[in-house]
Amino acid sequence: MAGTSSYVHFHDIPDVVLAIIFSLVADTRTRNVMSLVCLKWHLLERSTRKSFTLRGNIRDLFFLPTCFRAVTHLDLSFLSPWGHPLLDSSSNPLLLAQLLRHAFPSVVSLVVYIRNPSTLHLLALQWPNLRHVKLIRWHQRLPTEPLGSDFTALFKYSGMLSSLDVSLFHSWTEDLLPAIKAYPLIAASLSHLNILKHSSAEGFKSYELLAITASCPNLRKLLVTCIFDHRFIGFVGDQTLLALASNCPCLSLLHLVDATSLSNIRPDPNDEGYTSEDASISHTTLGDVFAGLPLLEELVLDVCYNVRDTWPALELLNSRCPRLKALKLGQFHGICRGINARLDGIALCQGLESLSIKNSADLTDKALEAISLGCPRLSKFEVLGCKKITGKGMWELTHALRKTLVHVKISFCKNFNAVSSLQAMEPIRDRIERLHIDCVWNTLDNSENQTRSSSSQELSESYNLQARKRDMIKEEKMLKKKSKSHFHDVGDSNLYSSRTWSKLHHLSLWIGVGELLTPLSLAGLDDCPALEEIEIKIEGDSRNQQRPCMDSLGLRSLACYPRLSRMLLDCSGVIGYALTAPPGQADLSLWERFFLNGIEILNLKELNYWPAQDMDLNQRSLFLPAAALLAQCGSLRKLFIHGTTNEHFMMFLLRIPTLRDVQVREDYYPAPENDTITEMRVESCRRFEDALNSSNRHIPD
């Protein structure tokens, strides 16, 4: 065998084995490259493709591929023009729906953008074997449509439906229940229901939630937005939770999230962490709910109102929910006391692999130490808005979990700035793969002094902003020198001497408007050889800021990461003036120049960009400075603008030689019904796409 192995050719591998190898390749571009090797590989790749996202303009039917007959998961939500009724572009919508079925006859999982019920009626008729459906709609629901009309067609023709995801589908909470009651067999067959509304501030009332779960007793996964505020009619309390556990005892995944939690409002760093109202949930009821859901593997309870003294109930999780692997708690207090190194509360859940703690007012360093000792399998750990923990406690946790912990998020925590967050990661610097920190550059002492002053805006105007930024950078250089010392003596000064984040491939950052990214490398993130993706979230009210004192946010400082190829730059949390700003202030076009200046030197392949917004106009637009700067990104292949813009600004992007995939998506609520502010209409998209796909453009690869 050894003597003849050198004469074995790759084509001698049996077709069955080769098909299995092809099916294990998930990356789309890699599969496309494989299909170019030879005709046999081309046919094999097409016959083993199971997932497909259809792009392009729906009017170009001659581009519709017919060689992917084995595709089972089809995504139609990104077809152009984005957000417009899918089948209305054709004079014969039924024929268009039939052409889609002919091209993809094996579809059992469908993702589609639905503007009106007629589209879903035609599509559901084509694939009667649909098992999973995800609906997307950021435009407002038509008020003239009867309740449940968006779901009636789906339930009528999809007799095998078992999974429904409407988390990104804007509808009224009253829409789902009539359809579920009208089709009880479909409701009984559902095993996965995601009604976690991201496009609405409304949550399901308790009686709606109980009616839905009573009609869907076989649910294994349930994600829902609800109301925990006892001042509202239909709030979720003890009785609702007990009834829910009784209605769906087979749940393995349960997400109950208060509607206010999805707003992502940054908490006040100076409050104590307790809300003014308590939720109507007792620890005794929680224990009974856990006993009624023995198959739970993932649990999220983001209540947004105080749930106090929960450690007795959480101690029962380990025995009553032995399969639990992931847990997220929001506004839960007393989850672990950590007294005299005794394990209690959440620290007794030994099987946890993922733990997220949000707004726990009395979480301390001792509790973190107990969690690290009691939950030795944790690979993901998140703390958000916890005011009493410090860098020392986080360092102890990462040190104890250094063999398993690879994903950490520290956000909104009063005692953490960027430098202290990175110092706490020292024990796992060479192992961590995903990290989120807040880019808060001032020292903790200075931040405390600033919060004592009620006239911070007047003080900021009295100082020279440019000099203050320079002082901040000098301060970070001093902090970098100090960061080599740890929070206490660990016995071996060379134990964590490496300064390289060798496995970090995803970095997520939060930064306030007007602050800089430049100190990031000075704070200790200067050597990340494996970093491929960075996500930057910028938030704040630019109307309270003077003009930017520096020329850029500091994106050019990210050039020190050699493998960085994907970026998500989210400025949707920045509020400003889309039109002329008052004297002394900057409109959003100048802020966009500040945010994007320097991006052209990065070797990015993919960029998702969310423009800043003018809330008064409900406008998120790409302006001239941003279009000009993006046009200088010579390596971009994919560009997705989550907003709108003018057609002549889009034409700037044609200067990017490698650009292959561009789309403007107004995926925020409420998406404009008729875009009268900019020029991006249906015909505008068509002209740009024709120019992008023109034969005159030569794409190097």
Instruction: Give yes or no: residues 390 and 345 share one domain.
Output: yes
Q: Is residue 486 part of a domain?
A: no
Instruction: Give yes or no: residues 125 and 209 share one domain.
Output: no
Domain final position from 428, 446, 470 = 428
Specify the DSSP class assigned to residue 268. Answer: P
Instruction: Give yes or no: residues 268 and 390 share one domain.
Output: yes
How many domains in the chain?
4
Distances, alpha carbon 362 to alpha carbons 229, 340, 365, 451, 699, in Å: 21, 16, 10, 21, 57
Instruction: Give yes or no: residues 250 and 368 share one domain.
Output: yes
Instruction: Give yes or no: residues 277 and 138 share one domain.
Output: no
Mind listing the pLDDT tens digit for each residue in 574-622? 999 887 788 878 889 999 999 999 999 999 999 999 999 988 877 888 9
At 456 the pLDDT is 36
The helix (H) or strand (E) run that includes residue 329 is: strand 326-332
Instruction: Give yes or no: residues 155 and 105 share one domain.
Output: yes
Locus of tokens 């707003």? 263
Beta-ladder partners of 168: 136
- For residue 81, whether the previous peptide bond is cis, meaning omega lies within 30 degrees of 0, is yes
Domain final position from 378, 406, 428 = 428
Q: Is residue 513 part of a domain?
A: yes
Q: DSSP 3-state assignment of 312?
A: helix
Q: Please compute the mean of the pLDDT values over residues 389-410 and round it to a whole number.
A: 96
Mind listing the pLDDT tens digit for each residue in 64-100? 889 999 999 999 999 988 888 888 777 888 999 999 9
Specify the DSSP class assigned to residue 457. Answer: H
Mind listing the pLDDT tens digit for each residue in 445-466? 444 344 334 333 433 333 344 4
Instruction: Give yes or no: residues 208 and 343 share one domain.
Output: yes
At 140 the pLDDT is 87
Beta-ladder partners of 610: 570
Q: Is residue 360 part of a domain?
A: yes
Of 342-356, 547-561, 629-643, least confident by mean pLDDT is: 547-561
At 443 the pLDDT is 54
At 676 the pLDDT is 60
Instruction: Give yes or no: residues 121 and 259 share one domain.
Output: no
Largest CA distance in the chain: 83
User: Which of 561, 560, 624, 638 shows the shortest CA–CA distance to 596?
Assistant: 624
Instruction: Give yes or no: residues 514 and 577 share one domain.
Output: yes
> In this structure, what CATH number is given to the domain that contains residue 621?
3.80.10
Instruction: Give yes or no: residues 63 and 148 share one domain.
Output: yes
Q: Is residue 102 part of a domain?
A: yes
> In this structure, what CATH number is given to the domain that contains residue 37?
1.20.1280.50
Q: Is residue 475 part of a domain?
A: no
Q: How does the average pLDDT of the chain come out, rounded?
A: 87
Instruction: Give yes or no: residues 538 and 563 share one domain.
Output: yes
263-299 in b/e form (b: 16+ CB < 10 A) is eeeeeebeeebebeebbbbbbebbbbbbebbbebbbb
Q: DSSP 3-state assignment of 169?
A: strand
At 678 the pLDDT is 59
Amino acid at 469: K
Q: Is residue 181 part of a domain?
A: no
Specify the DSSP class assigned to residue 621. Answer: E
pTM of the model: 0.88
Q: Which domain holds residue 87?
A: 51-165
| Predicted confidence band of residue 471 (pLDDT cuts 50, 70, 90) | low
Q: Please compute the mean of the pLDDT values over residues 545-557 and round it to a whole number.
A: 87
Q: Is residue 434 part of a domain?
A: no
Q: Is residue 292 part of a domain?
A: yes
Instruction: Give yes or no: residues 105 and 32 share one domain.
Output: no
The helix (H) or strand (E) run that includes residue 398 is: helix 391-400
